[in-house]
Amino acid sequence: MNSRKDSTYLRAAIQLARERMIAGHGGPFGAVIVFEGEIISEGWNQVTSTNDPTAHAEVVAIRAAAARLGRFSLKGCTLYTSCEPCPMCLAATYWARIDRLVYGATRADAAGIGFDNEALYQEMNLPIRERSLPMEQMLHSEAVEVFEAWRIKADKIAY
């Protein structure tokens, strides 16, 4: 993509963040997804307006793009987002198989205004037993039985 078009799409994400934040829909984050030179979806932070902690701009845009294209793989798409994605949104971007990501503000910038993106990135690097969220593994063999059933399932749709 050329930098002029990148700037245009990124400005659309930033403007969306500004408009929806001012309207009281959530935090200052916006995202657009582009496929074949066209914005096919928009997302803005809707955490507080929908009481959905996963309704980050990128996730909202990914869900809308997948629905519009009628597929779970967003191969061929570029995600433009007003801020470097948090770990959840970055993982969703990978899972969606998005080709490219372009962002404006950094996760350090987000931390500077009270968002805990940076803290989450640091938390993910800790060994499980050192994380602030207590985690306990149980029923391993029963859970793995389901994985084995998936492995041999003849009609599965791999992703």
For the stretch 46-91, pLDDT in tens is 999 999 999 999 999 999 999 999 999 999 999 999 999 999 999 9
For residue 119, the model assigns a pLDDT of 87
- Tokens linked to 122: 């640091």
Which of 57, 5, 2 is CA-nearest to residue 32?
A: 57
Task: Say what the pLDDT of residue 1 is.
Answer: 55
Report, as residue numbers or ranges, the catalytic residues. 58
64-68, 95-99, 135-139: which has the minimum mean pLDDT? 135-139
**Segment 121-134 mean pLDDT:** 93
Do 29 and 17 touch, CB atoms closer than 8 A?
A: yes
Q: What is the mean pLDDT of residues 5-17?
A: 97
**Does the pTM of the predicted model rise above 0.75?**
yes
**Closest Cα partner for 45 from 19, 67, 65?**
19
Give the per-residue pLDDT at 109: 95
Contact 74, 66 (CB under 8 A): yes
